[in-house]
Amino acid sequence: MPTIRYVLIGLGNLGRRFCEIVQEKDADLRQRYDVDLRLVGAADSRGAAYDLQGLDLADVVRLKTSGESIAAYPAIGKTGWEAKALIEAAEADVMLEASPVNLPQHAEPGLSCIRTALEKGWHVITPNKGPLVVAYQELHALARSHGVKLRYDGTVAGGLPALNIGRRDLRGAIIHRIEAVPNLVTGYVVDMLSNGLTWDTALARARAEGVLESDAAWDLEGWDAAAKLTILANTVLDYPAQIEDVTRAGITGLAQEELVSACDRNFCYRLLARAERRADGGYNLSVAPVALGPDHPLGRLGSKQLGIVFHTDIYGTLTTIIEEPDPIPSAATMLRDLLDIYTED
């Protein structure tokens, strides 16, 4: 049974839950896919730990659930050992990178970690949009030149396999239009406002549940949705868009009376990301709040649902929706990507 040695950068909502998923599914993964997944290194914002014989997932989960750093891992944890330095020093086959997005700034430490791992000839898996938005072409060229895979199915709509469907299952199609609700928190906030809660209360609740980024404007002003649309355009539409190409409006300009009135008429406002094919083969990209009626495929989305509609020439119109009440589906995308790289159909 092949052992897949992986390094995990970022042990927060997603990284820690990935450890829990693998811990729970270990026997099943061995039996069904003939793989032995071994965590050999891990890093968070305060330090790192490394052991080629493998870290104990239960110990990692215990440390992170209790708010400690991986630097406190018995015997091998080191405070101040940075993620990039860990990657440089480690021996492994694949890196999973789940650190903060850090856009619109520098997308670090994710970007440097991914570059370093690819240059070492490791496969890379990340649900982190930042590096893909900043350096999509460069990272793909780097992966190609080192003969390794770069997978990022968790970047666009949580656990919903938007990229996989778009690039794999719609092969051969021309996609005339994509309509997506890729950002969870804006729908959640809009629904709370529609139900009469004030902005302050709605934002406080979203923050307390950990679904609102610390930089609230990133979500509310549509940057997050624009970043996801940029990745979709590059990956699925083969259209080399930059985030600046997306016409963007967020939800902060919405009047609460309008939201309540729309709700009474059975309409629901969502921050809709759209790619519209032009006659020249390019795409117009936009993010804006739209009142979706009950006849729209995404018009009945629940508060914690995400969805995407692909309008194609030969596969008709395809709609996929996911309910994501916690980050487990998003964390599981890293397992999906890993198995995609290492197992045959």
Which residues bind to ligand NAP, rule: CB under 6 A? 9-15, 43-46, 69, 83, 98-101, 109, 127-129, 154, 158, 327, 330
Of 259 and 331, nearer to ligand NAP (C-beta) is 331
C-beta closer to ligand NAP: residue 156 or 263: 156
Cβ proximity to ligand NAP: between 80 and 253 the closer is 80
**Shortest distance, CB of residue 84 to ligand NAP, whole angstroms?**
8
How near is the Cβ of 69 to ligand NAP at its closest, in Å? 5
Sheet of strand 123-125: strand arrangement: 78-79, 47-50, 36-43, 3-9, 94-97, 123-125, 150-151
Nearer to ligand NAP, 112 or 312 (CB): 112
Task: Say how far apart CA 341 and CA 151 lie, in whole Å.
Answer: 8
- C-beta pairs of 208-215 under 8 Å, 24+ apart in sequence: 210/13, 211/184, 211/185, 212/185, 213/101, 213/185
Please, what is the minimum distance in Å from the beta carbon of residue 316 to ligand NAP?
A: 28
Min dist CB 105 to ligand NAP, Å, is 12
Q: Which residue's CB is nearer to ligand NAP, number 36 or number 51?
A: 51
Nearest distance, CB of residue 168 and ligand NAP, angstroms: 20
Q: Which is nearer to ligand NAP, 93 or 97 (CB)?
A: 97
Nearer to ligand NAP, 14 or 275 (CB): 14
Q: How far is the CB of 252 from ligand NAP (least distance, A)?
A: 20
Q: Residue 100 or 299: which CB sits closer to ligand NAP?
A: 100
Q: Measured from the CB of residue 299, what is the shortest distance to ligand NAP in angstroms?
A: 24
How far apart are CB 8 and ligand NAP at their closest, in Å? 9
Residue nearest to ligand NAP (CB): 12
CA distance 229 to 274: 8
Please identify, using beta-carbon distances, which residue of 35 and 335 lies nearer to ligand NAP.
335
Q: How far apart are CB 259 and ligand NAP at their closest, in Å?
A: 24
